[in-house]
Structure 1
Amino acid sequence: MSTAKPYKLDVSDDLLSWIDNRVKTARVIPDVIHASGDEWIDGTPTAVMNEIVDYWKTKYDWRAIEKKINETFNMFVINIQEADEDITLHFVHHRSDRKDAIPLLLSHGWPGNFLEVEHLLKLTNPEDPRAQAYHIVAPSIPGFTLSSAPTKPGFGIAQIASTYHKLMQALGYSHYVAQGGDWGSLISRSIALQYPEFCIGVHINFIFTRIPSPLRHPLVTTYLALRWLTPEEKKRLGRLQWFAKSELGYAQIQQTKPQTVSYGLLDSPTGMLAWILEKLKTGSEPDFVWENEVVITWTILYLIAGSAWHARIYKEAAASLEKDVYSRRISSQVPFGFSSFPMDVGYVPQWWAAATVAENIVLWRDQPKGGHFASCEVPAALIEDIDEFVRILREKGSSVRWEAVLKAGVNGKY
């Protein structure tokens, strides 16, 4: 395996010129008149698009944003061989100065990216000297933003998880904690399933899983059949059901025709922005404001990739998720934690997750506020839960595994 090399973001003038020309000549089509409160029912509204496209034309400065990204994030690339593919993996890596720091692998999903970890970088050197410190590692999914794309089908969640594990080994982190949301939650679960001897714990903030087997879990399926649910469980499951019924059109087209939809999205910066913004709005608290600058920056990162893999992951993952993730429980060797944010769309009750997701659930939190992008919306709450999960690992878990993860932190490179 090759060594990691420092990386600086430097988008070519030609690509920026192409993006600018597309934005300057963009057509924002009119919408129908909706009743108050229904403005987003058919997708990103014209009024919102007009405002943000005007901002992009007149105020947005990519070079200033690019400079800020390079100053904020310590970025690297490394070549990793996985499943007959040579992946140039982009990742953020911030090492702590603390000798007791442990490696924390943070995995994003779609339409997210590595910028989501900005508010978590403080974990390398927390203000409270008694708080746990972390070495932060945040890769970009192959084919997303700044990581190269696989060239053949079949590169699913298990292969992404293996790529990330190889990254951690290359960094000297033989043992580590994994955390993720959206696709990152499934990547983290796959890591725990494939490498339980190295992953000492998994914390996620998004859950999808299968219906429990009536033969193996008759009591759980009885609860489901009779809807023996608390009011809060009904509320959060109801949001999942609403999303599955009304909001999964994007996933169905990306799962079936990822190449076709990508021609349109990658050839139209404003089209990609509308596609992304709609999901940011859908998955967030109603009062959370996605700044224009942030939405445009996330959009440009996907345009830079020039790859259909932002959509293709839905097809490749769907083909193998049942076999690779949903049909297996994380063993008791790997403690599991979950944080549920009320405006997220992936949820099952703890007793359901115990039957299908993980044998050893040590932390379960129903947070009162936040959505799908918790690290952006409510980073303090997510940090609190990560710290509590790791405290449980430290105080109640295997002392041998804790010593191993401490040693891995000392041995880290770059």
Structure 2
Amino acid sequence: MTNTEPRPFSINVDQEILDWVTDRVRTSRIIPDAVQLPENKLWADGTPSSVMRDLVEYWKNDYDWRKVEAKLNSRYKMFMIDIEEAGEDIQLHFVHHRSDRKDAIPLLFPHGWPGNFTEVGDLLSLTAPEDPKQQAFHIVAPTIPGYVFSSPPKSPDFNITNIGEVYHKLMVQLGYPKYVGQGGDWGSMILRSMAQKRPESLVAVHLNLVFAGVPSIWHPFVLMKLILRMFTEDEKKRLGRMQNYLTHEIGYATIQKTKPQSLSYGLLDSPVGMLAWIREKLNNWSEPDYVWDKEVVITWTMLYLLSNSAWHARLYKSSLPDLHPQLILNQSIPSTVAFGASLFPAEIAYVPRWWAQGSVADNIVFWKEKQKGGHFASVEVPDALKKDLLEFVNLLPKATKVSLREQVN
């Protein structure tokens, strides 16, 4: 029987699994780079051997999962809940930090790939801001089904629309029938799906990744600008980065959306293989000068190894077809939902505001094109993301904010 009540959850990985990981890392072989690449092309073929040797030595000699596990259990208030969706019983893992402030509003923070629930870490301060005039939040950060501690769906067709329904049911069960959302990567697509399907509940959406389909004929001016390529120099630069991603960096998604099971044997059976797969994305999708902490990188890798599921790749097969123009990408978020975006320069996707107005959302109330930051904004530039989120929420109609506050107090 499905248990719809949240249950406190603490991470306690079986020692047998840790021993297996330790042995695999200890006996791993790092192949040498086959060719000599110039410094500016060092990552062109994937994660360099020099980077992998350094990380693996750290993993062998300095990394301590039990200490990390204790820190995660201390920092995050975690729960499990059973949610039924599309004939599936999903055991959903989620972080839930409830504010003590009476005027707090609910914030849903869905993660993406290769991220995880820990991406919400620096946003948790929003539950108890020092400034009494600053908006406070009840923060909910669920784990994608099949990722980390959330159980994997059995149906191959379980997609981001289903995930959005799972997250909506979670919010309602927690006592938040109305809420706002913030997300990037898969989280951005999950929220867009939710805004289209549940606009009466997800009343405001702030994204840090925005894809867009071709504008409809109902937006002729936008369509004309796109056809004539009427872009500013900055827009050309940002679009150029996205074009480079689509041309040279999209191979991982093609593999994951075609043969997710075959790929997962190699990644889940080789901790070092999973590390290399993830580390490359952390490098290529963030600012060149951002330094990824070794413990964080290996912890993110560990969290994928612990899932023992191919859904880290399978989600691409079930959900990328949903991003075709006739589906999510060409359905605007309705005008009843306030929309905001913060676009960071090292992000893998970009559209100008005028384009977004023709295909993404009907009610854009906040739009900022930032000068620093990348794909993992909540980790790379958390203060900038929090500042923008607060500005966005402050722009919501007073009645909306009142309705968000009253439902939980």
Cα distance, 1:230 vs structure 2: 1.2
Could you tell me which residue of structure 2 aligns to residue 331 of structure 1? 334
Whether 2:91 is the aligned partner of 1:92: answer no
1:383 match: secondary structure: helix
User: In the aligned structure 2, how far is the partner of 1:210 from the partner of 1:27?
Assistant: 44
Could you tell me which residue of structure 2 aligns to residue 17 of structure 1? 19
Could you tell me which residue of structure 1 aligns to residue 74 of structure 2? 71
Percent of pairs identical after alignment?
55
Deviation digits for residues 4-63 of structure 1, max 9, x if unmatched? 000000000010000000000011101121112111010000000000000000000000
User: In the aligned structure 2, how far is the partner of 1:58 from the partner of 1:408?
Assistant: 50
Could you tell me which residue of structure 2 aligns to residue 404 of structure 1? 403
Residues 135 and 409, structure 1, Cα contact 8 Å, conserved in 2: no
Could you tell me which residue of structure 1 aligns to residue 119 of structure 2? 116
Deviation digits for residues 357-414 of structure 1, max 9, x if unmatched? 1000000001110000000000000000100010001xxx261x3322112332xxxx
Residues 156 and 313, structure 1, Cα contact 8 Å, conserved in 2: yes
Query: Which of 239, 242, 248 is 1:240 aligned to?
Result: 242
Could you tell me which residue of structure 1 aligns to residue 155 of structure 2? 152
Residues 74 and 92, structure 1, Cα contact 8 Å, conserved in 2: yes
User: In the aligned structure 2, how far is the partner of 1:104 from the partner of 1:283?
Assistant: 25
Deviation digits for residues 303-333 of structure 1, max 9, x if unmatched? 0000000001111002323354123111110
Residues 331 and 360, structure 1, Cα contact 8 Å, conserved in 2: yes
Could you tell me which residue of structure 2 aligns to residue 386 of structure 1? 389
**Structure 1 residue identity aligned to 2:231:** L
Could you tell me which residue of structure 1 aligns to residue 261 of structure 2? 259
Residues 215 and 330, structure 2, Cα contact 8 Å, conserved in 1: no
Could you tell me which residue of structure 2 aligns to residue 271 of structure 1? 273
**Structure 2 residue identity aligned to 1:189:** R
Whether 2:372 is the aligned partner of 1:369: answer yes
User: In the aligned structure 2, how far is the partner of 1:407 from the partner of 1:77?
Assistant: 26
Deviation digits for residues 230-262 of structure 1, max 9, x if unmatched? 111111111100100000000000011111100
User: In the aligned structure 1, how far is the partner of 2:58 from the partner of 2:106?
Assistant: 39
Where does structure 1 differ by over 4 angstroms across 4 or more consecutive aligned residues?
Answer: none
User: In the aligned structure 2, how far is the partner of 1:209 from the partner of 1:313?
Assistant: 20
Could you tell me which residue of structure 1 aligns to residue 343 of structure 2? 340
2:341 match: secondary structure: strand
Could you tell me which residue of structure 1 aligns to residue 55 of structure 2? 52
2:140 match: secondary structure: strand
User: In the aligned structure 2, how far is the partner of 1:409 from the partner of 1:180?
Assistant: 22
Deviation digits for residues 274-313 of structure 1, max 9, x if unmatched? 0000000001011100111100000000000000000011
1:67 match: secondary structure: helix
**Structure 1 residue identity aligned to 2:261:** Q
User: In the aligned structure 2, how far is the partner of 1:18 from the partner of 1:36?
Assistant: 36
1:363 match: secondary structure: strand
Query: Which of 167, 172, 180 is 1:169 aligned to?
Result: 172
Residues 176 and 408, structure 1, Cα contact 8 Å, conserved in 2: no
Residues 79 and 87, structure 1, Cα contact 8 Å, conserved in 2: yes
Name stretches of at least 5 consecutive residues in structure 1 with no aligned partner: none
Q: 1:138 to 1:379 in 2, by over 3 A?
A: same
Residues 190 and 324, structure 1, Cα contact 8 Å, conserved in 2: no
Cα distance, 1:335 vs structure 2: 0.5
User: In the aligned structure 2, how far is the partner of 1:321 from the partner of 1:398?
Assistant: 34
Whether 2:217 is the aligned partner of 1:218: answer no
User: In the aligned structure 1, how far is the partner of 2:406 from the partner of 2:330?
Assistant: 33
Residues 188 and 210, structure 2, Cα contact 8 Å, conserved in 1: yes
Residues 103 and 408, structure 1, Cα contact 8 Å, conserved in 2: no
Could you tell me which residue of structure 1 aligns to residue 197 of structure 2? 194
Whether 2:209 is the aligned partner of 1:206: answer yes
1:286 match: secondary structure: coil
Instruction: Give me the TM-score of the superposition, normalised by structure 2.
Output: 0.97
User: In the aligned structure 2, how far is the partner of 1:159 from the partner of 1:324?
Assistant: 14
Count of residues paired in the alignment: 405
User: In the aligned structure 1, how far is the partner of 2:191 from the partner of 2:246?
Assistant: 23
Cα distance, 1:153 vs structure 2: 1.0
